[in-house]
Amino acid sequence: MTASLSGRVALVTGASRGIGLAVATRLAGAGARVCVTARKPEPLAEAVSLLGGPSVAIGVAGRADDPAHQAEAVAAAVEAFGPVDILVNNTGINPVFGPLIDMDLGAARKIFEVNLLAALGWVQAVYAGGPRPGVVVNVSSVGGRVPPPGISFYGVTKAALEHLTRCLAVELAPHVRVNAVAPAVVKTKFATLLYEGREEEVASTYPLARLGIPDDVAAAVAFLASDEAAWITGQTLVIDGGVTLTGRGA
């Protein structure tokens, strides 16, 4: 059971489906009111409805790496529910596959903007303007820890996100706690190519003998966002069914 988040206001990016929606569902279930974002308005509206409608959730559509969207979403959350207490930087992209040596640098720049700079932009949009209590949880990946073949630059940005987590944790203490989670393969649209048609084979490499589901990650995010984690900051919690213990990544 998630500790109470009653009275808290959360903003979860990339939350119309997958891990982000599971996180928003957990936070709302614990009593928080939630602002969710994603690019496409219709699935986002469906997510808001699933979360319980406008008394519990609002959706603001836009690109996570667009500063104007960041400002608009934060302002909408403040207007609807009050200042944001919990920021979950969940959006992450990986639109290309292949070796680093052939990587298109334009694509690399885009991945860097969405996976790293946008996370910092959201933190600035929520917490600039003076010290006040709060929590940030960044969604990293085991690909930031064990080199992930074919998606290495994605891994580079996630490694940077984990270091950003540590740097922000020091800079924003003692008011704002900043942590991260690093999942292995979780069954979402994003990860389809990593397991579809061979789930049993992939799962057999995991000590816990199954792939992740979005709620495995959401439970950990909700814990880190809660007062139960009041003395934890700058950490990355690996959520991987044990797979990195075997020396393998996702």
- Which one of 2, 25, 91, 179 is in contact with ligand NAP (CB under 6 A)? 91
3-state secondary structure of 116: helix
**Binding residue for ligand NAP, selected from 57, 77, 123, 186, defined by CB under 6 A:** 186
87 sits near ligand NAP (criterion: CB under 6 A): no
Cβ proximity to ligand NAP, 63 vs 166, nearer residue:
63
User: Smaller CB distance to ligand NAP: residue 201 or 231?
Assistant: 201
Token output for 220: 């950990």
The answer to whether 237 and 166 are in contact (CB under 8 A) is no
* Smallest separation (angstroms) from ligand NAP to the CB of 176: 20
* Residue 173 vs 209, nearer CB to ligand NAP: 209
- In what side-by-side order are the strands of the sheet with 236-239? 57-61, 33-38, 9-12, 86-89, 134-139, 176-183, 236-239
Interface residue with ligand NAP, options 155, 183, 234, 241 (CB under 6 A): 183
Whole-angstrom Cα distance, residue 142 to residue 148? 8
Site string for ligand NAP, 193-222 (x = CB under 6 A): ------------------------------
Q: What are phi and psi of 163, to 5 degrees?
A: -75, -35
Name the minimum Å distance from CB 59 to ligand NAP.
10
Q: CB within 8 A of 156, min separation 6: which ones?
A: 144
> By CB under 6 A, is residue 190 in contact with ligand NAP?
yes
Alpha-carbon distance of 127 to 130, in angstroms, equals 7
- Tell me if 141 sits within 8 A of 250, measured CB to CB: yes
Identify the active-site residue in 127, 154, 195, 206: 154
**Within 2-31, which residues bind ligand NAP (CB under 6 A)?**
14-20
92 binds ligand NAP (CB under 6 A): yes
Is residue 154 flagged as an active site residue? yes
**Minimum distance from residue 14 beta carbon to ligand NAP (Å):** 3
Question: CA quadruple 120, 32, 26, 64: dihedral positive or negative?
Answer: negative
Q: How many chain residues interact with ligand NAP (CB under 6 A)?
A: 28
- State both tokens at 102: 């052939």
What minimum distance in Å lies between the beta carbon of 92 and ligand NAP?
2
- Give alpha helix (H) positions in the chain: 18-29, 41-51, 67-81, 105-112, 118-127, 152-172, 192-195, 199-203, 214-225
**Catalytic site residues?**
154
Q: Where along the sequence are the contacts to ligand NAP (CB under 6 A)?
A: 14-20, 37-40, 43, 63-64, 90-93, 114, 139, 141, 183, 185-186, 188-191
